[in-house]
Amino acid sequence: MSLRQRFLFRMMNFWPPFWAAGIHIDRVSQDHFEIDVSLKLTFWNRNYVGTAYGGSLYSMCDPFFMLILIQQMGRGYIVWDKAACIKFKRPGTKKVFARFKITPEEVRDFKEQLKELPKIEPKFLVQIKDIDGTVIAEVEKILHIRKNSL
C-alpha cells in the first residue's frame, strides 16, 4: 500500500461522520484486500434504549467494499455503491467489529466479466459482530462496476 493510501485511511478515522459515530479503521492489509473496522459504543452512538444506533452500524459498513474495489480494479474502471440492506440480528451492547474482504480471484473474475458485459453488479455480505463473536447485524452491499469509457 502506498504512503498516500495509508495516509487516507488514517485520516478517515478523523472524518467527522466516522469520528462522531465512534467508528475506527483498525487495520488495512498490506495488499489492500482486507479492512477491519470497529465501533465503540458511546453516549454519541447509543439509541433511545441504550444499544448501538442502527445508522452508526450501517455507517461503519458503508464505503469499504467500494474503496477496496476502486483500489484493486484500477483507473480503467468505475466503481459505485448501488444498493444496501442491513438486517439487525441482536442489539449491539458492546464494541462491534466488521471485516471487509475481497479476494484477488474475485477482482480477476470481475475484470473478465467486464470484457463481455457493459457492467456488473456484484453482491457482498459483511457481518457485524460484537467482542464475543455474536452476530449483531448483516449488511448486504450491491456495487456497480463498469469500464471507464474516457
Let me know: does 145 contact 69? Beta carbons within 8 Å. Answer: yes
Is the per-residue pLDDT at 1 higher than 60? no
Q: What is the per-residue pLDDT across 86-101, written as a single tens digit (0 to 9) for each?
A: 999 999 999 999 999 9
Q: Is 74 exposed, middle or buried (0-12, 13-18, 19+ CB in 10 A)?
A: exposed
Which pLDDT score is estimated for 9?
74
Handedness of CA 116, 117, 119, 125 (dihedral sign): negative
CA–CA dist 71, 69 (Å, integer): 5
* CATH number, position 15: 3.10.129.10
**Model-level pTM?**
0.90
Q: Rg (Cα) of the chain, in Å, rounded? A: 16
**Number of domains the chain is built from:** 1
pLDDT digits (tens, 9 = 90+) for 37-64: 999 999 888 999 999 999 999 999 999 9
Pairwise CA distance, residues 87 & 127, whole Å: 10
Q: Indicate whether 10 pLDDT > 80.
A: no
Give the separation between CA 48 and CA 6, rounded to whole angstroms.
36
Q: Which domain holds residue 94?
A: 3-147
Separation of alpha carbons 119 and 96, rounded Å:
34
Crossing angle of helices 104-116 and 64-73, in 10° steps, is 70
Residue, of 116 and 20, whose pLDDT is higher: 116
Task: Return mean pLDDT, the chain.
Answer: 92
- The reported pLDDT for the residue numbered 150 is 65
Where does the pLDDT of residue 11 fall: very low under 50, low under 70, confident under 90, or very high at 90 and above?
confident
| Residue 114 confidence class, pLDDT cut points 50, 70, 90 | very high
Measured distance CA(126)–CA(24) in Å, rounded:
16
